[in-house]
Amino acid sequence: MSYYEIDKNYTKKEKEFAWKTAIGLQDVDNIKVSNELYSLVEKELDIEDIRTKIYDYYDTKKDINGRTEEADKVSINIVRSLLSNGFSFSVKQYLNIHENLFEGIYNHAGKIRDKNIGKKEWILGNESVKYADYREIEALLCYDFEKEREFNYSGLDTKQVISHISRFIANIWQIHAFNEGNTRTTVVFLIKYLRYLGYTIDNTIFEKNSWYFRNTLVRANYTNLEKGIFETTEYLEGFLRNIILYENNEMNNRGLRI
């Protein structure tokens, strides 16, 4: 496979932001990068040099923490993706992002899952969001992307745009197209899509709040009428206003717990 070509004109600040975002995003799956990667990043080496050194590192060292190698390699791939200008608004792009992030990590990288899944969520009292039936994933992705492609943003203010994008992003995350790596893929797609739409964003918020972001997606896709709970993009919209409008909306996971 081929990775996106990195924009050689990226600034030191853009590279720093990309690393903060990439490393912070590993929290969505409760995994951490190694001290080795931190050390290489602090030396401000070229991204490809870091990639070579990390791959050499794991060729000679057993990953005693189980998923640290995944966190390191996926972080590198996220940085490469965020520092590339390549983007097209399509289902294929979404699948390609997953492949680019997880190739060599998961044998299903870039492939739609072939079974139904669930995940117990702490903020839902160990209940799970109802993800899409695996037999309908491709059709649902095509439907959501086509609706978004046809949507007319003219005449909307930024908060209205954010409200609409929140629902779109929540919908494609709820589909949960892959066995693993859905949130990290969705975040990279979202950042690149917002840039495509012309927004200059503060994506470093993901460094310390990626788990909160995931939980806003959970709340955007959970309804329990018996308990009087309804899906809401309120929290997701607040998060996106923080990264687009530089607001200071609270990001507290306990505040999302039902």
Dihedral over alpha carbons 77, 78, 83, 86 (to 10 degrees): 80
Q: Would you list the domain boundaries of the chain? A: 8-85, 113-258
| Positive or negative torsion for Cα 165, 166, 167, 171 | positive
Of the chain, the percentage scoring pLDDT greater than 90 comes to 90
Q: In the CATH scheme, what is the code of domain 113-258?
A: 1.10.3290.10
What confidence tier does 72 reach under pLDDT thresholds 50, 70, 90? very high
What confidence tier does 4 reach under pLDDT thresholds 50, 70, 90? low
**Buried/exposed 196-218: b ≥16 CB within 10 Å, e otherwise:** eeebebebbbbbebbbbbbbbbb
Mean pLDDT of the chain: 94
pLDDT digits (tens, 9 = 90+) for 109-150: 999 999 999 999 999 999 999 999 999 999 999 999 999 999
For residue 2, is pLDDT > 50?
no
For range 7-25, the mean pLDDT:
89
What is the pTM (predicted TM-score) of this model? Answer: 0.95
For range 200-213, the mean pLDDT:
94
